[in-house]
Amino acid sequence: MPNLELYGTTSCPYTSEMREWLEWKNREFIEYDIDFDATARERLHRLTQPPFTVPLLVEDGKVIQVGWQGRGCVVNAK
């Protein structure tokens, strides 16, 4: 099971850019769309503080990157 998790939304272009980069690097990861996955949205709340920004990259339960190349999408993670 991959120990890398990508939290994002389909509406955030930086989420897809990070996904493409991870695929190019041949990294195994699990992707969660917080717009449609309430459980993933709750995990995002526990991992970070407002304002909630995607993409969010988590490895072994620790946040290792917020946003992509200095950019991200602030989301209403209710």
pTM above 0.75, yes or no: yes
Total domains in the chain come to 1
Each residue of 23-36: b (16+ CB within 10 Å) or e? Answer: eeeeeebebbbbbe
CATH number of residue 25's parent domain: 3.40.30.10
pLDDT per residue rounded down to tens, the chain (78 residues) = 569 999 999 999 999 999 999 999 999 999 999 999 999 999 999 999 999 999 999 999 999 999 999 999 999 756
Residue type for position 27: R
CB contact at 8 A, 67 and 9: no
**Domain carrying residue 66:** 4-74
**How much is the pLDDT for 76?**
77
